[in-house]
Amino acid sequence: MKIGLFFGSFNPIHVGHLIIANSMANHTDLEQVWFVVSPQNPFKKNNSLLHEFDRFTMVERAIAENFKLKATDIEFNLPKPSYTIDTLVVLAEKYPQHEFVLIMGEDNLVQFENWKNYQQILDYYALYVYPRPNTAPHNFKNHPKVKFVEAPLLDISATFIRKLLQENKSIKYLVTEPVEDYIKIKNFYR
Ligand SMILES: Nc1ncnc2c1ncn2[C@@H]1O[C@H](COP(=O)(O)OP(=O)(O)OP(=O)(O)O)[C@@H](O)[C@H]1O
Ligand SMILES: O=C(O)c1ccc[n+]([C@@H]2O[C@H](COP(=O)([O-])O)[C@@H](O)[C@H]2O)c1
């Protein structure tokens, strides 16, 4: 099966993530999209980062009834911070029957040359890149392994959602109802 891997902290997962994953799973040659929940992004220091189990639970709740979307906790047992190349090696060993590609926002390409072994990632994997608002210039416009895919632009971030919660404001429609309920019950990000 051809599977797109969507890596992120998902702190929390929001409709921006879901719309991208769903359009990749339905408008490209990908059969499934897997959310790879990263315990610790190498580039991000975040005091309000919830435990990976809680972020994973929210991803599972968000995608529950969509059979094309899955969540994986494969990075939970790998060294931290979470380097994507290390995860790809483990996934390839564990699932030799699948073909994996990486899904990323165009903004990630700006920093991509600073990722661990990014050349090796490009040697073995295609990148399916969707547009992001105000992306700075990068060197991958014509790279043979980089495919640009049309997808809706939603200017929503997990940072904005956490800020609303801290200010005791509603996050309705920015996350799915099961995620909103879970955040409320657990009193997260207050
Ligand atoms: N609104 C959005 N539309 C499309 N892609 C998004 C959106 N928000 C985040 N992404 C992308 O999804 C991936 C995972 O995102 P991440 O979990 O870091 O969420 P985030 O909303 O950017 O978080 P934070 O605000 O905490 O930095 C990243 O590649 C990120 O660029
Ligand atoms: O492998 C790397 O060097 C690397 C550098 C930066 C980010 N990543 C991964 O990219 C994913 C999305 O990153 P971000 O910045 O949107 O949170 C997340 O899973 C990170 O672990 C990976």
pLDDT at 46 over 90: no
Q: Is the CB of 105 under 6 A from ligand 1?
A: yes
Specify the residue for token string 């996934």.
91
Q: Where are the beta strands (DSSP E) in 73-187?
A: 99-105, 127-130, 146-148
pLDDT of amino acid 1:
98
Q: Is the CB of 57 under 6 A from ligand 2?
A: no
User: Tell me, what DSSP letter sits at residue 11?
Assistant: T
Is residue 43 very low, low, confident or very high in pLDDT (cuts 50, 70, 90)?
A: confident
CATH number at residue 68: 3.40.50.620
pLDDT per residue as tens digits for the range 133-186: 889 999 999 999 999 999 999 999 999 999 999 999 999 999 999 999 999 999
Containing structural domain, residue 45: 2-186
Q: Which two tokens stand for residue 27?
A: 């408008």
Q: Is the CB of 55 under 6 A from ligand 1?
A: no
Specify the residue for token string 């200017």.
155
CA 84 to chain centre: 11
Kindly report whether the global pTM for this prediction surpasses the value 0.90.
yes
Cα gap 51→10, rounded to integer Å: 11
Give residue 158 CA to ligand 1 midpoint distance, Å.
7
96-118: average pLDDT: 97
pLDDT of amino acid 98:
98
Is residue 17 very low, low, confident or very high in pLDDT (cuts 50, 70, 90)?
A: very high
Q: Is the CB of 105 under 6 A from ligand 2?
A: no
Nearest CA to ligand 2 atom 21: 41
How many structural domains are present in the chain? 1
Query: Would you call 5 exposed, middle or buried from its count of C-beta atoms within 10 A (0-12, 13-18, 19+)?
Result: buried
Is residue 65 very low, low, confident or very high in pLDDT (cuts 50, 70, 90)?
A: confident
Q: Is the CB of 87 under 6 A from ligand 2?
A: no
